[in-house]
Amino acid sequence: MKVTVVQQNIIFDNVRANLRHMEELFARAPKSDIYLFPELCSTGFSLKPQAMAEKVNGLTAQRMLEWAAKYDAAFAGSVLTVDDEGRFYNRMYFARPDGTLDYYDKCNLFVYSGEDKVFTPGKGAVIWEFRGARIRPAICYDIRFPVFLYNRNEYDILLISGAFPKSRMLAWDTLVRARAIENLCYVAASNRVGVDDFGTYCGHSVIINPYGEKVGGCRSGSQGTTTVELDWDLMMNLRNRSLF
């Protein structure tokens, strides 16, 4: 299985421009099985989401489904979403080539920014299965909660959509590596680049193997992609030698 992480600059509150740009970026890495985008990839982050949020299964979700069918791959990334009751979610979609659309709502909201006062937390963990792989989604602040992400031999790949600023890159680099080591899994982590009202972002999007080794990464501060073919034998051999 091949996984591609997309590292993008997000244009604030411009869904259509971001979608065009996302396709330009991932099309440079054809023939992957999964493409992963950063947190709130089609709008950027806002604590005033009323005018920006997309309806459930809105334009970004539908475009991901179109891409999935066209490129025969799954597409994942978090989207600013509002339901029919007016509740806002930081929601990661997982669009498949067969037209099915799964989602995960961010559970651990970033209280220091006030995200918890605006968004509704998710109801818990989910696991997706795709082409023989078991996939656990996580969004940004989720990665600071190791017990929440603890792997009881339930998943093989941890997908992380992030928006960690440059000032917290040491934490990002350390946490994505730790989550791979302790859970004996692959971690694919997409973090944005660019500037918004909350800070500057330099990416450090990576793919980490179960030993904690970086096997793919994007250039710091630049848009781009990284693609890795996951080595299942490496992971299974490690798990068979552990107490997993």
Active site (catalytic) residues: 39, 106, 140
Q: What are phi and psi of 49, to 5 degrees?
A: -85, 0
As a dihedral over the C-alpha atoms of residue 203, residue 175, residue 146, residue 4, rounded to 10 degrees, the angle is 40
Task: Dump strand ranges (E) for 65-140.
Answer: 74-82, 88-95, 101-105, 128-130, 133-139
Q: Which amino acid is at 66?
A: E
For helices 15-26 and 59-71, the axis angle rounded to 10 degrees is 20
Angstrom distance (rounded) from CA 4 to CA 34: 6
CB 206 within 8 A of CB 176: yes
Pick from 155, 158, 160, 181: nearest CA to 172: 160
**H-helix or E-strand spanning residue 186:** strand 186-191
Provide, for the chain, the percentages of residues in helix, strand and coil under a 3-state DSSP scheme, each rounded to the nearest 5.
Answer: 25, 30, 40
CA distance 33 to 130: 9
